[in-house]
Amino acid sequence: MMQDSANIYYAFNWSGQNDFGYPDFWKTVELTGGPGWYEKLTTKYEQYWLLFYGITLFISILILVFLFNHRFSCIPHP
């Protein structure tokens, strides 16, 4: 029953026109707001991000080395 019914779609834009590709009917759009806090932070300190990532990677590797050395040093040797 549902397969026999036809779906009817009416293609209209906000102006009621049905020709979306014709430039005479295009609406002008204005963006509001501004960049978010993350975008402002990254543009302000963009030269320090690589240093920050490098220090974070170095500290992570140090922690992993410490944990592995501590884990293996606690195992009694025969």
pLDDT per residue as tens digits for the range 20-45: 666 776 778 888 888 899 898 888 88
The dihedral region occupied by 16, where left means phi > 0, alpha psi between -120 and 50, and beta the remainder, is left
Domain boundaries, the chain: 33-73
11 in Cβ contact with 20 (< 8 Å): yes
Decide if pLDDT at 15 tops 90. Answer: no
Q: What does the block give as tokens for 71? A: 């884990």
Q: How far apart are CA 60 and CA 66, in angstroms?
A: 10
Question: Tokens 């020709």 label which residue?
Answer: 19
Question: Is the pTM higher than 0.85?
Answer: no
For residue 17, give the H/E element and its range. none
